[in-house]
Amino acid sequence: MKPGKLGLVVLCVGSAGLAGPLDEPHLNIVPRTQAEAARIAAATALATEFDRPQAFEAKSAGAATVRATSNSDAFSRPSGNITFEDQLTFRVGNGLFRKLWVSSPSSTLASDGLGPLYNARSCQRCHIKDGRGHPPEGPKDNAISMFLRVSIPGGPNDAVSDIKGYLATLPEPTYGTQLQDFSVAGHPAEYRLQIDYEEIKVPLSGGEVASLRKPTYTAADLGYGPLHAQAMLSPRVAPQMIGLGLLEAIPASDILALADPEDADGDGISGRPNIVWSVEFGQPMLGRFGLKAGNPTIREQSASAFAGDIGISNPLFPAAAGECTDLQAECKAAPHGDGDNRVFEIDAGGLDLVTFYSRNLGVPARRNVDDPTVLRGKEVFYATRCTACHQPAFVTHRLADRPEQSFQLIWPYTDMLLHDMGPGLADNRPEARATGTEWRTPPLWGIGLTAQVSGHTYFLHDGRARSLLEAILWHGGEAQNQRDAVVDMDPVDRDALIAFLESL
């Protein structure tokens, strides 16, 4: 196990942890009044008419919405309601997000500490232009925005009896919790990511045929010996960064109210919250961030990425050797950047700046919101019951100290819950309460700008889908009926559905 840096890997909490709304110690909340609750219920109710846009629908992030630009910087602007003073803080955070870290020892003491094993030298190298990453385009592509998580099955864990939990997975003994495809000089990288695709034809109504690519992942050229016989691999592509602060500010009680783990209403949709152990607050919290909702806050998500992706120690994950394990002795003994005035390779102040930047990346406004084809596509989206997982709207907490995220009507199109997506998308690797077939519903806001920002249209957790239609056709499990409806619907309606998604 890799101690310190990543601590407990994942915890699985029994249903007793859901007796009531979870604490939200990361937020300074002003309680809602009954009158506000009534207004919120009306503002977030599902649409029933589709001849015109809903009120405020074009402003995806409420007052934090930014103007949609026509260049690749569309995801890189600060919240629309941020103050002039805080724009400076945002830009300083952006500088740290883009910083290229270097190995130790180095004369650049503020930037040393890279690795020794790493997936990228900066946050920006994975979240390119604050958008989606992508799988490798060929054998010579460094795949800087994709990696494989790794673990082995776990067992009972009495050390966390305070939350009646158990370890769902343990770190792989040699390679830890994720595989790094880069290393500093003098140390071998852990592996090379190899992906082999199989094309699968899918007949659609109207005589159309779609083609899906089914990936097989191989951890090739292992640098430290074979993987454990029970090693579980999970491919991950970096997700887009916009609107994270608003997702963090959605009341946990509103998310839990959408959960139906036993499918009590019989609609086939069984959303479940992920409950994770917060390293920062020392308690179970609602998981919100990551492809399986494995982190509770933006700050903890940022800190774990610094540790796992770049090998940078920080106040939450302080191991100086980064992802090196006890079985990688030379790696653990390598020089590191701890011990100067920063104490850690990125100190609390630097981590807070990156957190502020990540929290305040603005969501672009909707486009073509009143276009008849888009409105028809919205009607199809609702009629097909895509809204059962992609919940259109929320109102965030009223917050005493975060005006940008406070009491905003937002349209992220996610319920923030875990859903069984079927065997086709399964990674067969648990993460906290998430099973090997479950994924968090991804927010859809900004999805139509992916090509503009990222230069590609690769979707899903591993980028296998080359278009929005392919992403839909990979849906299974709880979304099988919705997927089949898209296959069978009139091609005109199918095109309208895609037009609606591209307007988000």
Per-residue pLDDT reduced to its tens digit, 356-366:
999 999 999 99
Query: How confident is the prediction for the chain on average, in pLDDT?
Result: 91
Name the more confident of 248 and 341.
248
Residue 378 has pLDDT above 60, yes or no: yes
Map residue 369 onto helix, strand or coil: coil
Beta carbons of 235 and 148 less than 8 angstroms apart: yes
160 has a pLDDT exceeding 50: no
> What pTM did the predictor assign?
0.93
- Tell whether the model's pLDDT for residue 240 goes beyond 90: yes
Distance, CA of 331 to CA of 485 (rounded, Å): 52
| pLDDT score at 62 | 98
Token pair 């009223």 in the structure block, residue: 398
How far apart, in whole angstroms, are the C-alpha atoms of residue 444 and residue 453?
A: 15
- In 221-335, DSSP assigns E strands to 232-237, 275-278, 283-286
Decide if pLDDT at 223 tops 70: yes
Where in the chain are the domains?
10-263+270-503
Joined together, the tokens standing for residue 388 give 């059962």
Distance CA 446, CA 21 (A): 29
Using DSSP, state whether 361 is helix, strand or coil. Answer: strand
Please give the Cα distance from 240 to 352 (Å, whole number). 20
Q: What is the pLDDT of residue 140?
A: 62
**End-to-end Cα, the chain, rounded Å:** 42
**What letter would DSSP give residue 263?**
-
DSSP assignment letter at 195? E
Which helix (H) or strand (E) covers residue 246, if one does?
helix 244-248
**Statement: residue 392 has pLDDT above 90:** yes
Q: Would you say 323 and 2 are in contact if contact means Cβ atoms under 8 Å apart? A: yes
Token pair, residue 88, equals 């400076």
